[in-house]
Amino acid sequence: MPDAGTMISMENITKVFYTDEVETHALSGIHMQIRKGEYVSIAGPSGSGKSTLLALIGLLDSPSDGTYVLNSHSVANLDISERSRIRNREIGFIFQSFNLIGDLNVYENVELPLTYRGMPAAERKERVHVSLERVGMNHRTKHYPSQLSGGQQQRVAVARALAGTPSILLADEPTGNLDSRNAEAVMDLLRDLHREGATICMVTHDPRFARHADRQIHLFDGRVVEESVEVG
d(CA 181, CA 187): 10
End-to-end CA separation in angstroms for the chain: 31
Say what the pLDDT of residue 161 is. 93
Say what the pLDDT of residue 159 is. 94
pLDDT tier at 1, thresholds 50, 70, 90: low
Nearest to 59 by CA among 67, 50, 70: 70
Region 14-25: mean pLDDT is: 90
Asked if pLDDT for residue 154 goes beyond 90, the answer is: yes
pLDDT tier at 11, thresholds 50, 70, 90: very high
For 182-222, write each residue's pLDDT tens digit. 999 999 999 999 998 999 999 998 888 988 899 999 999 99
Edge-to-edge order in the sheet of strand 22-35? 22-35, 6-19, 65-70, 73-74
The predicted model scores a pTM of 0.89
Domain ranges within the chain, ordered by starting residue: 6-229
For 101-144, write each residue's pLDDT tens digit. 999 999 999 999 999 888 999 999 999 999 999 999 999 999 99
Burial class of residue 2 in the structure, from the number of CB atoms within 10 Å of its CB (0-12 exposed, 13-18 middle, 19+ buried): middle
d(CA 44, CA 46): 7
Q: Percent of the chain scored above 90 by pLDDT?
A: 75
Residues 26 and 222 sit within 8 Å (Cβ to Cβ): yes
Residues 219 and 50 sit within 8 Å (Cβ to Cβ): yes
d(CA 114, CA 35): 26
Q: What average pLDDT does the chain have?
A: 92
Asked if pLDDT for residue 4 goes beyond 80, the answer is: no
Residue 92 per-residue DSSP state = E
d(CA 36, CA 48): 26
Say what the pLDDT of residue 232 is. 52
Say what the pLDDT of residue 77 is. 86
d(CA 77, CA 67): 11
Region 59-63: mean pLDDT is: 94
Instruction: Give the H/E segment covering residue 217.
Output: strand 215-220
Region 18-43: mean pLDDT is: 93
Our CA angle for 39, 141, 116, nearest 5°, is: 65
Region 88-101: mean pLDDT is: 92
Say what the pLDDT of residue 231 is. 55
- Tell me which of 129 and 230 has the higher pLDDT: 129
d(CA 224, CA 22): 23
Say what the pLDDT of residue 163 is. 92
Alpha-helical regions (H) of the chain: 50-57, 80-90, 106-115, 121-134, 150-163, 180-195, 207-210
CATH of the domain spanning 6-229, picked from 2.60.120.10, 3.40.50.300, 3.40.50.360, 3.40.50.10470 = 3.40.50.300
d(CA 203, CA 210): 8
Beta bridge partners of 201: 40, 170
Show Cβ contacts of residue 196 under 8 Å, excluding neighbours closer than 6 positions.
none
Asked if pLDDT for residue 57 goes beyond 80, the answer is: yes
Say what the pLDDT of residue 153 is. 95
